[in-house]
Amino acid sequence: MVYMLPSQIPPMDILIDQYLNYLLVEKGLSSSTLESYSRDLIRYQLFLQDSDIGCISETDTVLILKHLIALRNAGLGARSRARHLVSIRGFYRFAVKQKVLKRDPADLVDLPKTSLKLPDVLSVEEVSQLLSKPDPAKPIGARDAAMLELLYAAGLRVSELINLKLQSLNLESGFVRVFGKGSKERVVPIGSLAKEKIQFYLEHSRNMLLKNQVSPYIFVARAAKPITRQGFWKLLRRYGKLAHLNKKITPHSLRHSFATHLLEGGADLRAVQVMLGHVDISTTQIYTHVTRKHLKDLHKRFHPRG
């Protein structure tokens, strides 16, 4: 392999532009994600300039650590510093991939402890309570029952759920095709209960809600329009109250519960990553602390020296 000599390494701003273009074209990341990466890398570039350094090198590990310390001294919390490091790590990995560098100096830098607090995760019993509250005898109840069941069964984001179209659903095979962040497509299994509730809604309620109108969307509201985010928030809050759940429930609560219950049941982390639509497995790893707690509880309950 032929790597660049130090004198051949392009200036930082050119490499940043190349990296952002790579993320846009090859990875299909959204504009908001690209803006976030750009801000973090420009801040890192300014730090290097203040240190009289114009381009990156394989010996930048100490500089990266100094930058993280400077961010902490500037008042950035652990979570924000972790995001900066993720941006920098990706940038250096790209430099190695492009043979600008032989070695990745960011690889040795650990993520700051984030004390990351996930939204409240519902227990399996609490999820069952919540999902039992819509009344399938009513058209709206059948729709809501199918939506809640699918959100939990497939770990969808609320934006993915409300934008699902009929062509994305394969009930016979038990899969749903989802377009997530950055228009990334993934196929997720939905399970037998979700299949039953969706089938019931499609056969008995959807046409009643459409009132002779046509819509490509699976879940419809008035005038054949898809459910809005605000509309879904309202119905979820209503069913949460009916279920007497003493937790703050958001659409993401069911997504987090989906991931946590799979991992606690022994699912492989990478399989959960695929189902959630995470590009980087480090995003999925935020759930492992929940799983570790579950294992600790099991050890305490069943180990003779627990």
Residues annotated as part of the active site: 157, 181, 252, 255, 278, 287
Structure tokens belonging to residue 94: 């790209």
Give, as one character, the DSSP assignment of residue 299: H
Give the Cα separation of 233 and 104 in Å (integer): 44
User: Which stretch of DSSP H or E encloses residue 119?
Assistant: none
Give the Cα separation of 14 and 98 in Å (integer): 13
What SS3 state is found at 218? coil
Q: Contact at 8 Å (CB) between 277 and 258?
A: no
In 3D space, the residue among 130, 220, 149 whose CA is nearest the CA of residue 190 turns out to be 149
Give the Cα separation of 262 and 64 in Å (integer): 36
Radius of gyration of the chain (CA): 23
From the CB of residue 56, how many other CB atoms can be counted at a distance below 10 Å?
26
Structure tokens belonging to residue 302: 């069943």
Structure tokens belonging to residue 272: 């959960």
